[in-house]
């Protein structure tokens, strides 16, 4: 700072390599202009001998917020040490009017970026999280930023196809004080890992001359669309590998969670759930009380996940402010036994101790009980069924409270021939066998079954996802055909044919197990909260596709 130079790390992030001569594509032209009042640039609040502000870097956009003090920019423009630096935001800075609306100090400690991005190397390993918010103090006369210059709305999950998108950026050259302006189509750019950078899917715009310093500048919808900020220069290789192509991390629910944290003045929610590409390898999910000493007084259920490589993982349940899950616990590392031979895991309270146990069906027909599974792993093993040909045909299973007693220890099995069986009061041996449905063609199409108490009675309900995408809830399911009632949650549809795992449980504020986790074919994870007889509940996207 003493030499008015950027720190080494920041300079490396800002460097952009010009394209080789003779290999230029067609780019939209950019031109310097006087700027717009909602977009500005940052300075370190040190002054030279003439009283002018020192080093200028990056751009930011004022976005609406309750306290009227929020600026959206790129995370790679900053590092954790910047929390304590004297920074200022100057809206609509230009050569002729360096401070047309005054300067707004950045409140110390009011930089909000995803913690995964801000660790050393995070800019390369989490390229899709290159966005940040900063909160400003009032101007010297006490006026708030948004009251002075207005704000531009954020566009979340708007897709990639925007034919007229405006890009504004502040080049880092001292000789070029005016911002650049360019309008060009925005499109989708996908890439794999390269040169140590994690690939992904980004927004791309081709405008010439967006060199070092333009990072953090907004992508703004224009033309027939309402003005919204749908990107900031950043993401893949911190915004681009050439001055003529700019990228942005996609504005999805990760940005929305970051915004909510900034508004509340809280540290961003720790995100422990892996990305969608990882979740495509989740072979099964079971809901239960596995983790000890959870973060909320009224305990939430946890997710037990069987991965395709045999790893077994618990995700500890938390409340909504922590994105519903706050801790990852590895029960077993990847191994061939569970990868090659475990077909399904089912959680329940088969030992009546208020914790959760696992029942596992193996590929040779063996069925095994693991009592009181917790953060420390397994505590014993009990064989319920020896290897046999019959149980190889148990194609779908769930456990709930289906009329036997107060415990979640009743096991429902859908067999390959469509027969449905209830094993009531299962413990260290299988419970009383009740044939629910004789072999039939209809129930061979029940590809996923789950359970929960959506109708808030002592007896739980059965949820069925059919092969045509229909989703059905059978309330007060006891196995007696004249007592359980059918509610259609979803008519047959193509979307729900992609719901590969459907698991009920208690993951929200109320005390009922009336929530449903769905793992989709593209790895998206959805949590539907507070379902009832009329429907599955409100969708909360936990992992974007």
Query: pLDDT (tens digit, 9 = 90+) per residue, 301-357?
Result: 999 999 999 999 999 998 887 789 988 999 999 999 999 999 999 999 999 988 899
Pairing between strand 162-169 and 245-249? Answer: unpaired
Q: What is the mean pLDDT of residues 227-235?
A: 96
Q: Is 508 part of any domain?
A: yes
Q: Is the pLDDT of residue 10 over 60?
A: no
Q: Is the pLDDT of residue 18 over 90?
A: no
Q: Are 198 and 124 in contact (CB under 8 A)?
A: yes
pLDDT given at position 217: 96
Are residue 300 and residue 238 in the same domain, yes or no?
A: no
Measure the CA–CA gap between 16 and 527, rounded to whole angstroms.
Answer: 41
Instruction: Give the whole-number percent of the chain exceeding pLDDT 70.
Output: 90
Last residue of a domain, one of 264, 289, 318: 264
Measure the CA–CA gap between 123 and 243, rounded to whole angstroms.
Answer: 19
Q: Would you place residue 175 in the very low, low, confident or very high pLDDT band (cuts 50, 70, 90)?
A: low
Q: Are 324 and 353 in contact (CB under 8 A)?
A: no
Structure tokens at 452: 């929960």
pLDDT given at position 250: 96
Measure the CA–CA gap between 241 and 230, rounded to whole angstroms.
Answer: 20
Three-state DSSP class for 145?
Answer: helix
Q: Is the pLDDT of residue 6 over 90?
A: no
Pairing between strand 312-317 and 104-113? Answer: unpaired
Measure the CA–CA gap between 305 and 442, rounded to whole angstroms.
Answer: 29
pLDDT given at position 13: 38
> What would the pLDDT profile of 63-106 be if each residue is shown by its tens digit?
999 999 999 999 999 887 766 568 899 999 999 999 999 999 99
| Among 208-212, 316-320, 375-379, the least confident range | 208-212
Instruction: Give the whole-number percent of the chain exceeding pLDDT 90.
Output: 70
Q: Is 326 part of any domain?
A: yes
Q: Are 524 and 532 in contact (CB under 8 A)?
A: no
Report phi then psi at 116, rounded to 5.
Answer: -65, -30
DSSP H helical segments within 22-64, as ranges?
A: none
Are residue 195 and residue 287 in the same domain, yes or no?
A: no
Measure the CA–CA gap between 155 and 225, rounded to whole angstroms.
Answer: 11
Last residue of a domain, one of 236, 264, 292: 264
* Residue in 217, 206, 220 with CA at minimum distance from that of residue 155: 220
Are residue 191 and residue 307 in the same domain, yes or no?
A: no
Are residue 164 and residue 254 in the same domain, yes or no?
A: yes
Count of domains observed in the chain: 2
Q: What is the mean pLDDT of residues 144-156?
A: 98
> What would the pLDDT profile of 458-481 be if each residue is shown by its tens digit?
899 999 999 999 999 999 998 776
CATH number of the domain where residue 72 is located: 2.40.10.120
Last residue of a domain, one of 264, 291, 318: 264
Structure tokens at 167: 């890009």
Q: Would you place residue 2 in the very low, low, confident or very high pLDDT band (cuts 50, 70, 90)?
A: very low
Are residue 37 and residue 179 in the same domain, yes or no?
A: yes
pLDDT given at position 26: 63
Are residue 230 and residue 293 in the same domain, yes or no?
A: no
Q: Is 21 part of any domain?
A: no
Are residue 364 and residue 477 in the same domain, yes or no?
A: yes
Are residue 216 and residue 302 in the same domain, yes or no?
A: no
Pairing between strand 180-191 and 525-529? Answer: unpaired
Q: Is 259 part of any domain?
A: yes
Are residue 303 and residue 256 in the same domain, yes or no?
A: no
Measure the CA–CA gap between 291 and 328, rounded to whole angstroms.
Answer: 10
> What would the pLDDT profile of 379-415 be if each residue is shown by its tens digit?
999 999 999 999 999 999 999 999 878 899 999 999 9
2 versus 52: which is more confidently predicted?
52
Are residue 415 and residue 326 in the same domain, yes or no?
A: yes
Q: Is 391 part of any domain?
A: yes
Are residue 169 and residue 253 in the same domain, yes or no?
A: yes
pLDDT given at position 1: 22
pLDDT given at position 120: 84
| Among 205-214, 343-352, 366-375, 436-445, the least confident range | 205-214
pLDDT given at position 5: 38
Q: Is 100 part of any domain?
A: yes
> What would the pLDDT profile of 135-146 be if each residue is shown by its tens digit?
999 999 999 999
pLDDT given at position 293: 72
pLDDT given at position 4: 32
Task: Please name the residue that has the structure tokens 């914790």.
Answer: 355
CATH number of the domain where residue 422 is located: 2.115.10
Q: Would you place residue 53 in the very low, low, confident or very high pLDDT band (cuts 50, 70, 90)?
A: low
Q: Which distant-in-sequence residues (6+ apart) come within 8 Å of 413 by Cβ? A: 394, 396, 397, 420, 421, 422, 423
Q: Is the pLDDT of residue 107 over 90?
A: no
Q: Which distant-in-sequence residues (6+ apart) come within 8 Å of 195 by Cβ? A: none
Q: Are 215 and 234 in contact (CB under 8 A)?
A: yes
- Give the DSSP letter string of 208-266: TT--TT-TTPEEEE-TTSPPEEEEES-SGGGG-SBTTEEEEE--SHHHHHHHHHHHHT-
Task: Please name the residue that has the structure tokens 């900034």.
Answer: 262
Q: Is the pLDDT of residue 188 over 70?
A: yes
pLDDT given at position 481: 64
Q: Is 3 part of any domain?
A: no
Q: Please report the sign of the dihedral spanned by the C-alpha atoms of residue 269, residue 273, residue 274, residue 279.
A: negative
pLDDT given at position 359: 98
Measure the CA–CA gap between 101 and 98, rounded to whole angstroms.
Answer: 9
Are residue 260 and residue 280 in the same domain, yes or no?
A: no
Q: Is 2 part of any domain?
A: no
As beta bridge partners, residue 377 has 374
Domain range holding 471? 276-543
């Amino acid at each position: 700072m003493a030499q008015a130079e950027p720190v080494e790390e920041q300079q490396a992030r800002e460097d952009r390599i010009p394209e080789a001569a003779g290999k230029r594509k067609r780019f939209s032209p950019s031109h310097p202009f006087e700027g717009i009042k909602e977009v500005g640039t940052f300075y370190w609040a040190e002054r030279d001998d003439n009283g002018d502000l020192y080093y200028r870097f990056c751009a930011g956009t004022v976005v609406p917020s309750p306290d009227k003090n929020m600026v959206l920019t790129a995370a790679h423009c900053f590092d954790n040490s910047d929390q304590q630096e004297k920074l200022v935001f100057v809206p609509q800075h230009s050569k002729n009017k360096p401070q047309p609306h005054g300067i707004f100090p950045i409140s110390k400690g009011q930089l909000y970026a995803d913690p995964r991005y801000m660790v050393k190397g995070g800019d390369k390993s989490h390229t899709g999280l290159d966005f940040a918010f900063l909160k400003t103090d009032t101007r010297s006369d006490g006026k708030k930023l948004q009251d002075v210059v207005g704000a531009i709305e954020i566009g979340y999950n708007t897709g990639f196809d925007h034919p007229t998108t405006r890009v504004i950026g502040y080049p880092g050259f001292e000789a070029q004080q005016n911002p650049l302006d360019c309008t060009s189509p925005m499109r989708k750019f996908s890439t794999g890992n390269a040169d140590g950078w994690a690939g992904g899917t980004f927004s791309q715009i081709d405008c010439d001359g967006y060199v070092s310093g333009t990072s953090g500048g907004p992508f703004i919808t224009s033309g027939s669309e309402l003005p919204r900020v749908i990107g900031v220069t950043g993401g893949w290789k911190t915004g681009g590998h050439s001055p003529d192509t700019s990228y942005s991390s996609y504005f999805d629910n990760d940005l929305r969670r970051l915004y909510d944290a900034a508004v509340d003045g809280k540290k961003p929610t720790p995100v422990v759930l892996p990305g969608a590409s990882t979740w495509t390898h989740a072979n099964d999910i079971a809901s239960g009380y596995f983790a000890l000493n959870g973060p909320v007084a009224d305990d939430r259920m946890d997710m037990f996940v069987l991965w395709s490589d045999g790893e077994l993982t618990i995700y500890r349940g938390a409340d909504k402010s922590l994105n519903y899950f706050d801790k990852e616990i590895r029960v077993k590392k990847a191994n061939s036994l569970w990868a090659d031979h475990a077909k399904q895991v089912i959680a329940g309270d088969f030992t009546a101790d208020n914790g959760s146990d696992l029942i596992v069906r193996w590929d040779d027909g063996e069925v095994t009980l693991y009592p009181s599974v917790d953060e420390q792993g397994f505590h014993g093993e009990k064989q319920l069924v020896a290897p046999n040909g019959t149980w190889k045909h148990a194609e779908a299973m769930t456990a709930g409270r289906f009329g036997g007693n107060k415990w979640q220890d009743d096991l429902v099995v859908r067999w390959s021939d469509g027969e449905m069986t209830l094993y009531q009061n299962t413990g260290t041996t299988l419970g009383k066998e009740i044939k629910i449905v004789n072999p039939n063609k209809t129930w061979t199409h029940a590809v996923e079954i789950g359970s929960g108490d959506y109708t808030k009675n002592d007896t739980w309900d059965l949820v069925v996802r059919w092969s045509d995408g229909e989703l059905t809830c059978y309330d007060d399911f006891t196995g007696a055909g004249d007592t359980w009632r059918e509610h259609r949650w979803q008519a047959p549809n193509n979307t729900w044919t992609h719901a590969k795992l459907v698991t009920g449980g208690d993951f929200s504020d109320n005390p009922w197990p009336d929530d449903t986790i769905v793992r989709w074919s593209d790895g998206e994870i959805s949590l539907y909260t507070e379902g009832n007889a009329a429907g599955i509940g409100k969708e909360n996207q936990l992992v974007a596709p």
